[in-house]
Structure 1
Amino acid sequence: MAQTSSSELFNTSWTLHRLSPLHHGKDCETLLDNSTALKVYATRLRDQLTGDVLAGLHASATVADNDGLSKTGALRQCHWLQITTDSSSDQHASFPGILVRLEYENITYKAALLADPEKDSRSGDRREGSTSLPLLLTKFPAALRQTFISFLSANFDAYCSSLRLPPSFLCSGMESFIAGLRGTGSRGSAIGIIEETIKDLQLTLSFSTSIAPELRSLNVNIPRSSLNDFLKEDSGNSKARKLKQKSRSPFIPNLSSYLENHLAMKLDMDGSAQTQGAERHVRLSKVACSAFVLGSDGRMKLSVSEQSEDDEDISPSQRASEILLQTTIQRAILGGQTTT
């Protein structure tokens, strides 16, 4: 069976989508672990992209889109590949799913359809004739993305919607990543790993036009040398201790307390409080650092350094990235704030 490594999921800037179950009973009983079915759908997608559909796409696209698509060259290969783990080591998280790779003359685009790792590992969880792949990641230009989504709808009767990430998820995702790094060793070594992996952290705060018509966003930069101060369990502030009871990590409570005390910015960063007044008009819209990027607009990138083939121990950044990706899959399953 044609397979690819789960490492394809890292070091790529993805656009996130929620995807309803794929219904394929008219063609095959199963989709995962079925090389024949994957070849069939790869052929169908290739034919659609090289046929009249693409001609119509060019006709309806803007000049800028046409220029961008023309630079790709001709489509050479279309692959649908089963995603496997990188190693036999049980330290690696399993991300069952399908990678779609479109190889043009001058560039390669790709998409990933990911299953719930926990459900997929249980026998009898899949329904005959349909497969649940709730998280769709795409690395496509807009016109090609729409064509691919239309293909999924026509062939699998599937509904696709953008996966927006609210401030609560940005905070919990950041905390889960930090928690993954903190669990890699002793306190002293963990602090060094966190600083080396995250480096400088940038938080983007977005403002409602009703209270700040000329200020759309504000970046808060936290240098690596200050990360340890925000990770202290007891900051000495009673309000931070109170917020800590609702959080898995002291980072967000300590940061919120710091912004309020030193910058007079009273923020409900994770949306957990019943906010009033101006607090409702300021929200966390992006978290970016050397290791990952999460945006409320449904963008994500997980940066993982390459490892030697002989090294079975995964790096702390990969372990934390896998945790964050699993959290994102759960977000897609649970739903929430989505738009078409």
Structure 2
Amino acid sequence: MADVPPYPLYGRSYLLYRVSPLHHGDAPLLREPALNTHAKRLREQLKGDNVRGVDVDFAATEGALPNLGPLDACSWDVIGDDDAWIDRHRQLLHPDASQLTTVVPAEHARGIHVSLDYETQSYNALLLRDPSSTAAPDGFTSLPLLLVKMPSAIRDIFLNYIRTSFDAHVAPLRLSSAFVTSTLETYFRRLTASTSTQTVQDVIRQLQVQLSFPTATTLLRHLDVTMAGRDVPGFLSRGRLLRNAKDRPFTAALAAYMREHLALDISHPKVRISRISCASFVLATDRLKLMAPDIADVSIVDSDTPEGSAGELAVQDFYASLVKEATGTGKFLSEDLTMDRRSSTPSSSTSASASRRKRAVSNVAAGSRTSKRSKAREKENRDGVLGDAEMADA
């Protein structure tokens, strides 16, 4: 029996983009008929077919990618969270499991998964949002975060399709050094919480922090600081003792260490933390690779137990902050509209509680799900974290 495929957000290197709300008029976007229509139109453009009587010439794309073969399939699908993904594929593997549903309600959808299957290779993109804090004017759907894994020739056509079909603005998302380091601090905060059953060493393993000097000098492009996982807790302990370092103990301790031993001030405006790499994620200023977190034992149901493992909670925090960053770097929506729409959407805590109750319905079903998620996680983690060469070709 085939395994559940890995959740598309995990185990792949994506370029980061931000997108203004997508205009689609009165026809809902997150419905199968609309998605099938866009899949058909994008496929026609990628294949260079005739579109509404106009010949679309993309011969240069075929010349640039001669080894891919023909485009076999192009699909646009609504994507939910990890649990919805597993339920959908369990239903496909076990049609008799009538208690499961393959349909993700639009109000709970994270966004759209675009998949391109060529003869020799597959590519994909994710248009994402946070369902608990989404807002858009009538006739629009807000999917502010766009993750793309495609060669440049195909990527250009896809981004142009998003711009022209939805009258949308698409721009690269450039993350600041503060955001990159805050992601790491979020992981540390979750892993060192009193309720955590995971350790920093187990989840982070080896940590690499890359410092870059884009405007200071042309002689030194970047400096990599590599740290064993067993040394990270010591930095956290030292950072908590420093003044004004409550929310960023590791970054503060690293800055103190670099000043003391290398006479390098990493808080200087000309010094940037451009990439952080560990066993759980690789995050650069323009790209991301996120690994599947270890999951909590879903057979244990206790009101005092967190809604997931420390790794899962860290991923949830990271995902929400990344979507917020994609939205916040361009004020597409007014604050009044955002607050009004937010009040009518389910809260994240309510959603988490519902998910938890769902997991507690049957210990047998929970055990099956845990096994399949573990297999999928082991499959994608087998390759490890990306090196420089793979990260360069998103």
TM category (shorter chain) comes to 0.7 to 0.9
Number of the residue aligned with 1:275: none
- Answer with 128-137 or 226-235: which moved more: 226-235
SS of 1:87's equivalent? helix
* SS of 1:9 mapped into structure 2: coil
Identify unmatched segments of 5+ residues in structure 1. Answer: 89-93, 269-278
The letter for the 1-side match of 2:219 is E
| Equivalent runs, 1:1-340 vs 2, <5 Å | 7-25=7-25, 28-32=26-30, 34-52=31-49, 56-59=57-60, 66-67=63-64, 69-87=65-83, 96-120=110-134, 125-183=135-193, 185=195, 189-190=197-198, 193-208=199-214, 210=216, 212-232=217-237, 236=241, 240-242=242-244, 244-245=245-246, 248-268=247-267, 279-296=268-285, 298-304=286-292, 315-335=309-329
Is contact 2:24-2:166 (8 Å) kept? yes
Whole-angstrom CA distance in 1 between matches of 2:194 and 2:67: 45
So what's the TM-score if we normalise by structure 1? 0.78
Q: Distance between the aligned counterparts of 1:250 and 1:241, measured in 2?
A: 10
Q: Residue 217 and residue 311 in structure 1: after superposition, are their counterparts in 2 closer, same or farther (change >3 A)?
A: farther
Alpha-carbon separation, structure 2, partners of 1:184 and 1:319: 14
Structure 2: give runs of 5+ residues left out of the alignment. 85-107, 301-306, 331-394
State the Cα distance separating 1:52 from its structure 2 match: 4.7
1:328 and 1:71, CA in 2 relative to 1: closer, same or farther beyond 3 A? same
Report deviation, 1:241.
1.9
Deviations 1:202-245 (A, max 9, x none): 011112454x3311111011111111111116655xxx323x14
> In the aligned structure 2, how far is the partner of 1:294 from the partner of 1:197?
15
CA 1:115/1:256 → structure 2, altered by over 3 Å: closer, same or farther?
same
Runs of 4+ in structure 1 deviating by more than 4 angstroms, as ranges, are 52-55, 233-236, 305-315
Distance in 2, matches of 1:228 and 1:75, equals 49
SS in 2 for 1:293: strand
More strand by share: 1
- Give the TM-score normalised by structure 2: 0.68
Contact 2:48 2:57 in 1 (8 A): no
Opposite residue 253 of structure 1, the aligned amino acid is: A
The count of corresponding residues between Structure 1 and Structure 2 is: 295
- Look up the match of 1:272: none
Secondary structure class of the residue paired with 2:73: strand
Flag the 1:111–1:214 CA change in 2: closer, same or farther, 3 A. Answer: same
CA contact (8 A) 1:200 1:221 kept: yes
Alignment RMSD, CA only?
A: 2.9
Identity percentage of aligned residues? 34
- Give the Cα separation in 2 of the matches to 1:197 and 1:265: 29
